[in-house]
Chain A
Amino acid sequence: MKQWQNRTESQKMDDIRQTLRNQAMPKDSYSSQIMNQIGEMDMERRKKARRRSKIIKKTLVAVSAAAVLGTVVIATGFISPAWADTIRQIPIVGSVFKITEDRGLSTAGDKGLSTAPNQSVTHDGVTLKVTDVYYDGTRLAIAFEREGIDNEQVVGKIIPKPIKFDPSVKEVKGSRSELDQSVKGLLGIPVVKLPSGEEVQSGNTSTGDIEGKRNTMLFDAKKLLNTDALGNEFELSVSVEVAQIAEPFVFKVPVKKVTEGIIRLDLDQTKTKGEFSYTVKKLELTPAASRLIIHSKGAVPYSSEQTGDYSPSAVYYEIVDQDGVAVKGGNHGVIPIAGLQHPIVDESYDPFAVTPTSITVKPYTLTFDKNLKVLEDAKGQMIKTYITELEQTIQIP
């Protein structure tokens, strides 16, 4: 203490700066608590919101989806081929989607994989139909067809509402964004509500046109949260706004959960390397998605190439089947922070074409250079540093 008091002013300032910049938090992160509080708060606000003021949530592709599926461009009417491929994998029987016979799902289709087809609503010369629904507990996809409008573009642009800063206003009520009304017949993002009145919650939702099919729209919630309580059959309220048409298009859509070909495993498998350990808590394989929930803690392991000017990213997890074939996903947006820790990881991936007999989880990191840009190889692919000691295999019963 006495020595410190003798230091020069600029030394003291340096010490202060250093000490505070190195200050550790008692927890790895408060993000879960904060996001939970925000979730509860949003639910409260939704309950209070008046009927007309829709709060449009989860409308745009999250960073996650963009990394996995290529960019979904909303409002220009076309989507990337990568996403189209994924959509074709969705085993829905119906006019809009292709059936993959290999999966033996055509019988499942007859049993009602696709429910409530051809519900239709007409206002002001425009007809919207719900043609297909797919739900498996993790993923909800609703397909629409539009008639009465001759336009390549189907999904309209969402404009954030400009909000003026007014010190006397304590809270901003009502919706934060609105559908661009300049072209008639363009569709807004569907508002999909559960029987309870709450909107469907998903960590990764997108809405866009379907390539190759004119006048169609697909609402795709790929990482549903809190679906256990819903059961196998329930009804959704779906509301779609259409530009220059005052009345919203409202549908009551019965949903039946796909139960065949779904594997859900609750696990507690842990692997450790040095300070870092992770536990696979849950694995879900459905015909339309794979999902992995992992708890992890400790400092991110790094290789000798990830020292000095270089640093490791957060830990990401790849999954491969018994033959070592990987599915896309697990790397949803890279946050440029060295060694970022994620205590809870909830990742979604493409589905496996055939249910595997076992899955191996392969943790890896990416490498940042001194400007926190990710290192890429000659082909422009991000270089993955696999941490082989942390691999673990999960048997699929």
Chain B
Amino acid sequence: MEREDPGAKNYPGLIDEAVDKVRTGDREAFRTIIHVFERQIYTYCYYILKSREEAEDAVQDVFVKVYKELGRYEKKVSFSAWLYKVAYHHCLDQIRKRKRRIRLLSLYKQQQPRAYMDPGLENPVESLFMDQLTPEESNLLILKVVEQYSFEEMGQIMECKPASLRKKYERLRKKLVQQRTNEGGRSHETMAKSN
């Protein structure tokens, strides 16, 4: 399965060129980078943080951080992977802060993610993310299935071993596949496995 780096797919040199321009002082060139990636990063943050407002703040914070640290981007990973790395760590920070806030409010029990969800979600994919997946699982799913990074690349984004990501991902796949309906209907996958 060929991995697509969105920036590379459209125009291989575009992002590298923009990065070089920004590094030599052309601040406006950063706008190109924002335009190419903002929707993906917003989507990623939305499904991890499970909140529209937090995702809007996060996407802006992530790009500002990326701009600040552009000097550190060494082109060893693809630019989008490096972008996700910043986004991933930012979202983790936000979640940690959120948990700290919640712990401090002794009136509340550990809030369900559903509290942040937009009301009236019809889309089963959205419900899956909002109700059934932890942030770690959402992250894995997005990077592997939507962005289609290899485990090696994901290891660089999340700063952990590809092997452990492979295991986590396998568990996640099982979880997705084993969801059953209330009526007890079984998916084809589990049928196949039991045979």
A contact residues vs B (CB 8 Å cutoff):
1-9, 12-13, 15-17, 19-21, 23-27, 29-31, 33-35, 37-39, 41-42, 55-60, 62-64, 158, 160, 163, 165, 171-172, 176-177, 203-204, 333, 335-337, 340, 372
Contact = CB atoms under 8 A, between A and B. Distances in A.
Interface in B115-129: 123-128
Please indicate which of the listed interface residues A34, A35, A163 has the most CB atoms of chain B within 10 Å of its own CB.
Answer: A34
A1 B68 contact: no
A26 B52 contact: yes
14 contacts: A3-B124, A9-B187, A20-B125, A30-B56, A31-B31, A31-B38, A34-B34, A35-B28, A35-B30, A35-B31, A41-B67, A55-B25, A60-B26, A62-B29
A336 B25 contact: no
Contact of A335 (B27, B36, B141, B145): B36
A29 B23 CA distance: 23
A59 B125 contact: no
Given A34-B67, A59-B25, A204-B28, 12 more contacts: A3-B124, A5-B124, A5-B180, A8-B187, A35-B28, A38-B27, A58-B26, A62-B26, A160-B23, A172-B72, A336-B10, A337-B35
A16 B28 contact: no
A165 B72 contact: yes
Interface stretch (B41-49, B93-101, B150-158): B41-49
B177 A16 contact: no
A15 B129 CA distance: 12
5 pairs of A and B residues whose beta carbons are closest in the complex: A4-B124, A19-B125, A23-B43, A2-B181, A163-B71
Nearest to A63: B29
B51 to A, nearest CB: 12
Nearest to A34: B63
Contacts of B180: 5
Contacts of B28: 35, 58, 62, 64, 203-204
A273 B77 CA distance: 43
A118 to B, nearest CB: 29
Given A8-B189, A23-B46, A177 B56 contact: no
B176 interface: yes
Contacts of B23: 160, 176-177
B89 interface: no
A337 B36 contact: yes
Contacts of A27: 56
B188 interface: yes
B32 A335 contact: yes
Chain B contact-residue range equals 35 or more
B97 to A, nearest CB: 19
B71 A176 contact: yes
Nearest to B181: A2
A25 B146 contact: no
Contacts of A1: 124, 127
Given A34-B63, A41-B64, A21 B25 contact: no
B25 A62 contact: no
Nearest to A201: B27
* B contacts with A: majority SS: helix
B35 A335 contact: yes
A165 B46 contact: no
Nearest to B34: A31
A276 B21 CA distance: 32
B87 interface: no
Contacts of B67: 34, 38, 41
Contacts of A62: 21, 26, 28-29
A3 B69 CA distance: 45
Interface string B1-35: 00000000011001000001101111111111011
A397 B63 CA distance: 43
Contacts of B11: 336, 372
A39 B68 CA distance: 11
A340 B35 contact: yes
Contacts of A5: 124, 179-181, 187
B59 interface: yes
Contacts of B36: 335, 337
A132 B64 CA distance: 38
B188 A172 contact: no
Contacts of B25: 55-60, 176-177
Interface string B54-91: 00100110011001110110100000000000000000
A2 B182 contact: yes
A342 to B, nearest CB: 9
Nearest to A18: B125
A37 B125 CA distance: 34
A372 B125 contact: no
Nearest to A333: B32
A21 B146 contact: yes
B173 interface: yes
A339 B11 CA distance: 16
A366 to B, nearest CB: 14
B187 A7 contact: yes
A123 B141 CA distance: 62
B189 A38 contact: no
B10 A372 contact: yes
A340 to B, nearest CB: 6
A30 B34 CA distance: 8
A30 B24 CA distance: 23
A36 to B, nearest CB: 10
